[in-house]
Amino acid sequence: MAWFRGRARVIALVAAMASGASSAASAQTYPDHAVKIIVAFGTGGTIDTATRIVADKLGEMWKQGVVVDNRPGGAGNIGAAAAAHSPPDGYTLHMGGQPLSANVTLAPTTAFDPVRDFEPIVFINWAQDVLMVGKDSPYKSLKDLMDAARSAPGALNYGSLGIGSSGHLATVLLQDATGLRMTHVPYTSVGQLQTDTASGRLNMWISTLGGQLGVIKGGNLRALAVSGEQRATALPDVPTFKELGVPLVEPSSWFGLFAPKGTPKEIIAKINADVNTIIHEPAMLEKLNGLGFQIRGGGPEVLAAAMTADIAKWEKVAKSPAYSAQ
């Protein structure tokens, strides 16, 4: 039987070598047909905008179609689950973000696990948040707003796209950082949020900057503060929360590219290298920074570490008084 066991080991070794050679060969020819990037939210939002910018440039580089597939619903869980259960061949990717890490605690699902079922590829960017009021709002500064909220806890309201959305969680972080208490009004439409904030029906709204630049620059909404270490390139006159004495430095939203678990490492490495090249091109940096995106990049381990830290962050937020009050 010794000869049989020896032969079995040789066969296993040859199979492993063949598998490795096959993976390397597939990476050399990747992609040889269209690639799909699943976005777990609807068209027109900030994550959709970022994905389409990157997808267009990847398509040019690869000389293959790179299609954005929007699958909204379930607080981001529906699209993420579809991506997680796709074939691990590099032809279905997922542009994930803060909902992936937040939903572990805030909207848990058994359909997939964001750590177990995905391979991190590359951290694309942080998305700066912006706090807005209506054009005719009596609050001309963040201090005005905070003073009013402090004088009458719960009297002021704020809007978001629902519990667990990036805008809701950013406002929870603001309340936790300042001790303020405001009333949450959930919406299903960005357009209605814009309308009701502009009219004053909503006292304030925090959203990712990229999707709101048009209405801010058009004068319907007034920006009072942005998150991040530095002011937004697109809104140089708007101070950061940090400048105003509020410890909200890190934006609440981030975007990163993932693949289903088991995708060959050689393909992961190729996508990582190509995306890093694209997002650090001077013209792309200018375009993305202009939308309030703070570019990150780096290896897959950077995205994996960010995911781990973010899961812990939202677990803590879920126990906070401001979140529990919703």
- For residue 203, is it within any domain? yes
> 119-123, 130-134, 212-216, 218-222: lowest mean pLDDT where?
212-216
- For residue 27, is it within any domain? no
Phi, psi (rounded to 5 degrees) for 293 = -95, 130
Q: How confident is the model at residue 21 (pLDDT cuts 50, 70, 90)?
A: very low
- Give the distance from CA 309 to its chain's centroid: 14
Instruction: Tell me the mean pLDDT in the region 30-42.
Output: 95
> 14-28, 73-87, 146-160, 180-194: lowest mean pLDDT where?
14-28
Residue 200 has pLDDT above 90, yes or no: yes
Q: How confident is the model at residue 28 (pLDDT cuts 50, 70, 90)?
A: confident
Residue 42 has pLDDT above 90, yes or no: no
Q: How confident is the model at residue 15 (pLDDT cuts 50, 70, 90)?
A: low
Shared domain for 59 and 96, answered yes or no, is yes
Domain boundary among 250, 277, 299: 250
Shared domain for 168 and 221, answered yes or no, is yes
Query: Distance (Å, rounded) from C-alpha 89 to C-alpha 31?
Result: 10
- For residue 199, is it within any domain? yes
Closest listed residue to residue 257, CA positions, set 127, 126, 120? 120
Domains: count for the chain: 2
Residue 300 has pLDDT above 70, yes or no: yes
Q: What is the largest CA-CA distance in the chain?
A: 87
Count the neighbouring beta carbons within 10 Å of the beta carbon of residue 213.
18
Task: Compute, in degrees rounded to 10, the torsion defined by CA atoms 108, 112, 116, 118.
Answer: -120
Tens digits of residue pLDDT in 260-287: 999 999 999 999 999 999 999 999 998 8
Q: How confident is the model at residue 4 (pLDDT cuts 50, 70, 90)?
A: very low
Percent of the chain exceeding pLDDT 90 equals 63
Domain boundary among 197, 230, 250: 250
| Structural domain for 101, as ranges | 35-126+252-318
Shared domain for 104 and 148, answered yes or no, is no
Residue 157 has pLDDT above 90, yes or no: yes
Instruction: Write out the H or E segment, with its range, that includes residue 288.
Output: helix 282-290
More confident residue, 178 or 14: 178
Residue 60 has pLDDT above 90, yes or no: yes
Tens digits of residue pLDDT in 103-152: 898 888 999 999 999 999 999 998 899 999 999 999 999 999 999 999 99
Query: Distance (Å, rounded) from C-alpha 166 to C-alpha 98?
Result: 7
SS3 246: coil
Residue 37 has pLDDT above 80, yes or no: yes
Domain boundary among 224, 250, 276: 250
Query: Distance (Å, rounded) from C-alpha 101 to C-alpha 309?
Result: 9
- For residue 18, is it within any domain? no
- For residue 15, is it within any domain? no
